[in-house]
A and B are shown apart, each in its own frame.
Chain A
Amino acid sequence: MEFNEGKPIFLQLAQQLEEGILSGAYPEEGQVPSITEYSVTYKINPATALKGISLLVDAGLLYKKRGVGMFVASGAREKLRGQRRERFFEDFVQSMVHEARQLGLTETELVRMVERGFDGDVD
């Protein structure tokens, strides 16, 4: 995990946790590291780590087992997929279009590129 100056650290932490859940690195019903562990490993303030984790708890992606730690909720992966699909347009499409405009690409050219991308996926 690396942090940069883009967004607030707690948001970055939350996002990277989400990545981990999506990719299966943090399996459902599995334990995620504690706040202290995050704090010490990545040298961030525990309050920041707590904020990031709380975001996921509020979104129903993580839950706390008293005395044990934080766990990934079952169904979290699907939930995340759904959330990300909704955000896909804002997160990726808009910036892609912005960049395309900067480069002077037309809509047709852009669509053709997207098709190329999908073709390239078939390995």
Chain B
Amino acid sequence: MKTLFRYRLLDNLKALAIVAGALAAICAFFSITFGETEVNGANSLTGAIWALVIGIVTTRIDLRLGNQMGTSRRSAFLANLLGNLAVFAIASVGLTVLTALLQIMSDGSQRFVVTDLYQILYSTSGNYVMTPGEYGMMALLSFVLFAAMGSFGMLCTTAFWRVNKVGAWILGLSLGLGLSVGFPNLMYRLSPYLIRPLRILTTNVWAMILFLLIWAVVFLLGTWLLARRAVIKPAAK
């Protein structure tokens, strides 16, 4: 399992480097070209999507490679999970540090502004450059956000793996309809009851962290239940 964990971590770090590099390049390009640049939500948006993709892409790879190299599904799943979580931790800390540095450097300037979800929702200090404690919370929030998105990715990929062609269509359409039609309607119906919880979530960062953590655990459980009996076959050519 350790070997597979190492593989996953190194592979993920490569992916992180590429995404981070691309993001930096784009930001630099914009700020140089246009003068005024606002980077809003680098952490949450880009990072969350990146985490989702990591979850989607890596699980099957690890289960397959693991089997070829003599590793059980359980060990491969754990290696995959820990490898992903490790890189999520590195990413969240890294991005937070980067944000802090950029904010300190661009403080007062109009040319380059960086903010993020945490700051928008939860920051109480009201300053552009936050307190170290707040940066800490930002990193923690990013981490659980990545974990939740990553787990969701793992769940999706495993679900589609276990299911046959017809099932895949059903699953895909349900997911799509669920998100676009079902979810908003459900929210609308439940809205009177949701106002208080939502307010708590958007004002209390610990509540949000717990919320995301619970989702992450749920997704992971689902992933394992699906992965433990999966048939290990090669990818369709």
Direct contact of A and B (CB under 8 A): no
Using a CB–CB distance below 8 Å, which chain A residues touch chain B?
none
